[in-house]
Amino acid sequence: MTLRFGVVGTGAIGREHIDRITNKLSGGKIVAVTDVNLDSAKQTVEKHQLDAVIYPDDKALIADENVDAVLVTSWGPAHEATVVAAVEAGKYVFCEKPLATTAAGCMRIVNAEMKRGKKLVQVGFMRRYDSGYVQLKQVIDNNEIGEPLMIRAAHRNPTVGENYTTDMAVTDTLIHEIDVLHWLVNDDYKSVQVVFPKKTKNAHDKLQDPQLFTIETNSGIVMNVEVFVNCKYGYDIQCEVIGEDGIVKLPEFPSVVMRKNEKLSTSILNDWKYRFMDAYNVEIQDFIDSITKTGEPQGPTAWDGYIAAVTSDSCVKAQQTGEKEAITLQERPAFYSEKGLQTV
């Protein structure tokens, strides 16, 4: 069986995923695309030599009986409407983060999926498929460092554009740590507080950068997460878990070591496309294979998308108040029982 994808949004990551499904992964095929910028859709079909129909909008694409799965790579605010429509039509959905920009929007997707009575949605939280994070989770789950007590993490971009706003440090960037860290330690979040350190001269005048988030979990773990999106030196993701009996840290991305001009150096990546290339490949191959073998995706669910949205809302509130803000989740429905993500 070939899983036939319709793609909504042929921008940066949409084209990345189209390329990997077409040229690197197995079992998937792009059969339809749409974009509000139709020229982008046309250029994508031509560039990737796709045998795909170009639709005027997501609704027409979803109605195509040759589309088994909808790949949602449009702008975040557009995700909810497309995902709900696809679920209601019984289509599988791979939705890039965020699932929806509000917790209420995520709940509408959760309710639509539960009404359908079948898991259809996977959210593009690819760090759960990154080999470094998978190794971290294995160490923690095997109790090799004892109970986790603290986490120190950093999410650094070399630079962001003028359209990047202070709240996007949460909704667009921190959301990756929000998803992966509670998954790592098998614990739910309780509260968050934000501190704005001295602002870098490299941030545009409306952006607070860097930002420091202190997140507490129900069992008392304290996580300090730095978001610094104008660090200049590169794209750098760090994560260290401090436990009762030891410390485990995300490995540095592999790089050759150069000796030259009296210096010893290694390279640092400058873009998310390369840092998580393998994770993107594994998450989408897992989506294809799980659906083909079991009829359901097994990756991050719509409920994980809801958890991320609730936590994001609290983080944005904490940015505004400077106070410790509660993170309060509704009770997890049995439909989304904690099978957890199989280590891939």
Ligand X SMILES: O=C1[C@H](O)[C@H](O)[C@@H](O)[C@H](O)[C@H]1O
Structure tokens at 282: 């594994």
Q: Interface with ligand X by CB under 6 A: which range of 168-176, 184-192, 243-251, 323-331? A: 168-176
- What is the number of other CB atoms lying within 10 angstroms of the CB of residue 89? 17
Q: For residue 266, give the nearest of 276, 279, 252, 250 by alpha carbon.
A: 252
Is 225:213 a contact under the CB 8 Å cutoff? yes
Choose the one of ligand NAI, ligand X, none that binds residue 73, judging by a C-beta under 5 to 8 angstroms depending on kind. Answer: ligand NAI
Provide the minimum distance between the beta carbon of 64 and ligand NAI in the complex, in angstroms, as a whole number: 15
Is 52:45 a contact under the CB 8 Å cutoff? yes
By the rule CB under 6 A, 101 interacts with ligand X: no
Give the CA distances from residue 181 to residues 23, 69, 187, 201, 224, in Å, rounded to whole numbers and listed in that order. 32, 28, 9, 30, 11
Alpha-carbon span 55 to 72, nearest angstrom: 14
Q: Which of 2, 12, 196, 266 binds ligand NAI (CB under 6 A)?
A: 12
Choose the one of ligand NAI, ligand X, none that binds residue 299, judging by a C-beta under 5 to 8 angstroms depending on kind. Answer: none
Choose the one of ligand NAI, ligand X, none that binds residue 344, judging by a C-beta under 5 to 8 angstroms depending on kind. Answer: none
Is 171:316 a contact under the CB 8 Å cutoff? yes
Residues from 172 through 191 that contact ligand X (CB under 6 A): 172-173, 176
By the rule CB under 6 A, 58 interacts with ligand X: no
Instruction: Determine the straight-line distance between the first and last CA of the chain, rounded to whole angstroms.
Output: 21
Is 310:329 a contact under the CB 8 Å cutoff? yes
Residue type at 64? D
32-51 footprint of ligand NAI as x/- string (CB under 6 A): --xxxx--x-----------
Residue nearer to ligand NAI on the CB measure, 10 or 311: 10
Provide the minimum distance between the beta carbon of 281 and ligand NAI in the complex, in angstroms, as a whole number: 12
Which residue in the shown chain puts its C-beta closest to ligand NAI? Answer: 11
By the rule CB under 6 A, 76 interacts with ligand NAI: yes
Binding site for ligand NAI (CB under 6 A): 8-14, 34-37, 40, 58, 73-76, 78, 96-97, 124, 126, 172, 272, 276
